[in-house]
């Protein structure tokens, strides 16, 4: 299973809030459109963002599961898809987000990375109603 590392507070906003767009400088590889992935909170926060709240103070852990439903580029010439969307970036749209009751510790990586079986099993053991 693949995971995507996202810095806090953005990983928490996906898991426990309304953020359903991930802003990236690169286009989503086609093979990941429609994929169910794990959302990993990175080891360091975004130094340009304020981190408030208990769900946003989790680092180096899987915090949610989501489906990537699409990708589009925002050239800044239109009203885009979300309050969270930033102009001049690719917007990866997310749906079916389920927060994990207990974050699962994991070391992340840049881009998409493969989660080891032990971590995937720890996610699956949580009774979250996560659809796989």
Q: What is the pLDDT of residues 4-30, one digit of tens each?
A: 999 999 999 999 988 999 999 999 999
CB 7 within 8 A of CB 82: no
List phi, psi (to 5°) of 126. Answer: -75, 130
Q: pTM for this structure?
A: 0.90
Q: What is the pLDDT of residues 78-94, one digit of tens each?
A: 667 787 888 889 999 99
Which domains, from first to last, does the chain contain? 2-125 (2.30.130.30)
pLDDT of residue 33: 97
Q: For the chain, first and last CA: distance in Å?
A: 10
**Does residue 129 surpass a pLDDT of 60?**
no
Half-sphere exposure of 50 (CA within 13 A, CB side): 2
């Amino acid at each position: 299973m693949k995971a995507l590392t996202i810095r806090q507070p953005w990983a928490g906003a996906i898991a426990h809030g309304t953020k359903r767009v991930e802003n990236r400088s690169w286009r989503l590889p086609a093979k990941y459109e429609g994929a169910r992935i794990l959302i990993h909170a990175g080891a360091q926060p975004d130094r340009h963002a304020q981190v408030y709240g208990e769900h946003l103070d989790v680092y180096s852990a899987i915090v949610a599961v989501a489906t990537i439903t699409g990708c589009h580029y925002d050239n800044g010439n239109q009203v885009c898809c979300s309050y969270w969307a930033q102009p001049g970036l690719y917007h990866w749209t997310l749906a079916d987000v389920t927060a994990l009751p207990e974050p699962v510790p994991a070391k992340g990586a840049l881009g998409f990375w493969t989660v080891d079986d032990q971590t995937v099993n720890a996610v699956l053991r949580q009774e979250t109603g996560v659809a796989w």
